[in-house]
Amino acid sequence: MQQTPPPQSTTRRQILAGAAGAAGIAAATALPSGTAHAATAADDARTRRAARALLGRMSLKEKIGQLFVVEVYGKSADSAHDKNKELYGVSTPAEVVAKYRPGGVIYFDARRGPDNLQQPRQIAGLSNGLQRAALRTGARIPLLVSIDQEGGSVVYRMLEPATQLPGNMALAAARSRGDVRRSSEIIGTELAAMGINQNYAPVADVNINPDNPIIGVRSFGSDPALCSDLVAASVRGYHRGEVSSAAKHFPGHGDTDVDSHTGLPVIKHTREELEKIDLPPFRAAIARGVDTIMTAHIVVPSLDSSGVPATMSKPIVTGLLREELGFRGLIVTDALDMGGATEDFPPDVAPVRALKAGCDQLVLAPKADTAHAAVLKAVESGDVPEDRVDASVLRILEHKLRGGLFPRPYVDEDRAARVVGSRRHIADAARITDRTVTLVRNEGGTLPLSPGARTVLVTGWDTDRVGILARTVGERSGQEATALATGATPGATQIEDAVTAAGDHDVTVVLTNAAASAKDKGAAQADLVKALVKTGKPVVAVAVRNAYDIRRFPGVPACLATFSYGKPSLDSVVRALYGDVNPSGKLPVSIPALDEDEGTLYEFGHGLSY
């Protein structure tokens, strides 16, 4: 049965009950909707007073609870799930909130396991149920409800009917601050409608390493000035959408060949290089009023010679970010269950070290009971002064007050269904996506396809994407398309089958994904493309993730880069293939030759058109 949020008068009574005066101050001083990012000095003073009043009513355990951001399993607040029992000793998401009184929860889809995200009305109901649980417990503090919805096809949680937007590098190819701003606004508006009030985006890393396995197209590119400009535009867009933004991953994760989910990268930049490359986008985000900055599990010896990850480093978190850059908002950790954090910091150590470093919120700390007990013990023993905890909790409370969460913790579930994936959002997304397609190579006028190219073979990476592209081509009048997926690592048999099929078609479109960054997989995909080129038939490679793929097959007649393999990007590719859209994207990165001694294949800013 659908849960309907209580009316505002009931909500206010819930806030006031058991917290005489303090939460009332919070409700009375919250800024009106839409003004949280344009507060005056008087607003700030009122917010600080309200936060201090709330803090004064909280027990130490309640304060510690506010530091943690947890995941919960299930589609509704009251649905039992075995994984909640395994992790937390209670059955339902509402019981998790009641037990730990966390400052926030984070949503995931079924790929990770929590399966929180099915459809807009359900998500809004889950958010309302969790807020109701928080407001019935202890100090009655509403929750920050977070998600990683960066856009693109690498880090995203919301599938359709949510509007699918291009990722950062795709947007950077269009070189439009307006498109970036509008894209973030659409994402923010849809998230806010579902009760998700904090998005861990945008990525502010400057990706200067073509072999970066974790950032890549999540970045706006390799140019610090471009990244800074577009990070600021993205922050502004999220604020327009009335959702909190989070620049990540401080102090910069763009020059690594190690994935911090599984290992601990070392960034060898000098302080001068950090100032020129990595820090400008974070400075731009701070200047634009970013709400949150997320730390990275990376070692940066030039900033801290101790060898600890930035998340655990007081010189980086407090010294650089808080004091030197002057950031006043929330500092959150990247997930503490990632390999970059767990490798040297067990569950009873990581949250304490991150707190001592200066982090305010501890995201996905493993073994919740152990983590909470460790922080409590550290405070009670004096290892962590209670005023250190108070400083973080005050920032968390002020953030929630500025966002208007106290008087408005609930959302309209019917409205969520209307807002998410609206026609206007989808139309805007299509126009934005069309401007991201980048034509990297076009020898002999291969593109746009001639009217005589009536039979098209679509082959290469991923059965689903090959099928989507082939169906979209086949829907055009007079076109016939055949789908023949070869997989991410095609073998001799798959390549032979594709070559045979290519001989029976006028043109071949071959999808590649991360062909440049994965040695065995990349070599296999390159072998496929080269074999297709040898047929003498026109071949168009479509790099659906990294534009770097052409390093493996520089002689392909034509190559389009989409930086994304979502359906909107594939639709835009088809429009570009036939000249309905004249590709206008410009590379946000330079593409070096596979043999670095041979120099650069394509410079930053390169892009052809018809």
The pLDDT, as a whole number, for residue 208 is: 95
Reduce the DSSP state of residue 238 to 3 states and report it.
helix
Reduce the DSSP state of residue 250 to 3 states and report it.
strand
Q: Is 419 exposed, middle or buried (0-12, 13-18, 19+ CB in 10 A)?
A: buried
What are the residue ranges of CATH 3.40.50.1700 in the chain? 437-602
Average pLDDT over residues 97-108: 98
The pLDDT, as a whole number, for residue 151 is: 93
What are the residue ranges of CATH 3.20.20.300 in the chain? 8-423
Chain position carrying tokens 């296999």 = 524
Is the predicted pLDDT of residue 157 greater than 50, yes or no? yes
CA–CA dist 77, 94 (Å, integer): 5
Q: Measured between alpha carbons, how far apart are the two ends of the chain, in Å?
A: 55
Sequence-separated (6 or more) residues with CB below 8 Å from residue 111: none
Chain position carrying tokens 């070599």 = 523
Residue 295 near residue 331, CB atoms below 8 Å: yes
The pLDDT, as a whole number, for residue 477 is: 85
Is the predicted pLDDT of residue 9 greater than 60, yes or no? no
Is the predicted pLDDT of residue 13 greater than 90, yes or no? no
Element (H, E) at 440: strand 438-442
The string of DSSP codes covering 56-87 is HT--HHHHHHHTEEEE--SSSTT---HHHHHH
Catalytic annotation, residues:
261, 334
Q: Which of 80, 64, 63 is nearest to 72 (CA)?
A: 80
Which residue(s) pair with 293 in the sheet?
Answer: 247, 331
- The secondary structure of residue 348, as a DSSP letter, is T
Q: Does domain 437-602 have CATH number 3.40.50.300?
A: no
CA–CA dist 490, 436 (Å, integer): 28
Which residue(s) pair with 69 in the sheet?
Answer: 104, 363
The pLDDT, as a whole number, for residue 594 is: 86
Residue 350 near residue 392, CB atoms below 8 Å: no
Average pLDDT over residues 181-203: 98
The pLDDT, as a whole number, for residue 1 is: 38
pLDDT in tens, 472-502: 999 998 899 999 999 999 999 999 999 999 9
Average pLDDT over residues 586-593: 96
Half-sphere exposure of 171 (CA within 13 A, CB side): 31
pLDDT in tens, 275-323: 999 999 999 999 999 999 999 999 999 999 999 999 999 999 999 999 9
Is the predicted pLDDT of residue 565 greater than 60, yes or no? yes
Please tell me the least confidently modeled range out of 37-41, 325-329, 463-467, 589-593. 37-41
CA–CA dist 477, 606 (Å, integer): 33
∠ at Cα 186 (321, 69), nearest 5°?
45
Q: Would you tell me how many other CB atoms lie within 10 Å of the CB of residue 528?
A: 27
Average pLDDT over residues 220-239: 98
CATH fold, domain 8-423, is TIM Barrel (3.20.20)
Q: Would you tell me how many other CB atoms lie within 10 Å of the CB of residue 424?
A: 10
Q: Rounded to the nearest 5°, which phi and psi values hold at 524?
A: -65, -45
Residue 334 pLDDT class (50, 70, 90 cuts): very high
The pLDDT, as a whole number, for residue 263 is: 82
Average pLDDT over residues 442-464: 95
Is the predicted pLDDT of residue 599 greater than 60, yes or no? yes
Is the predicted pLDDT of residue 557 greater than 90, yes or no? yes
Which residue(s) pair with 299 in the sheet?
Answer: 266
Residue 19 near residue 140, CB atoms below 8 Å: yes
The pLDDT, as a whole number, for residue 38 is: 56
Reduce the DSSP state of residue 133 to 3 states and report it.
helix
CA–CA dist 380, 476 (Å, integer): 70
Half-sphere exposure of 21 (CA within 13 A, CB side): 6
Residue 39 pLDDT class (50, 70, 90 cuts): low
The pLDDT, as a whole number, for residue 605 is: 97
Of 107-116, 179-188, 261-270, give the range with the top mean pLDDT.
Answer: 179-188
Exposure string for 35-46, b = 16+ CB within 10 A, e = fewer: ebbebeeebeeb
Please tell me the least confidently modeled range out of 85-94, 183-192, 588-597. 588-597
CA–CA dist 437, 543 (Å, integer): 10
pLDDT in tens, 359-387: 999 999 999 999 999 999 999 999 999 99
Q: Rounded to the nearest 5°, which phi and psi values hold at 143?
A: -95, 145
Residue 317 near residue 358, CB atoms below 8 Å: yes
What pTM value is reported for the model?
0.92
pLDDT in tens, 380-409: 999 999 999 999 999 999 999 999 999 999
The pLDDT, as a whole number, for residue 502 is: 98
Which residue(s) pair with 361 in the sheet?
Answer: 332
CA–CA dist 297, 70 (Å, integer): 18
Is the predicted pLDDT of residue 21 greater than 50, yes or no? no
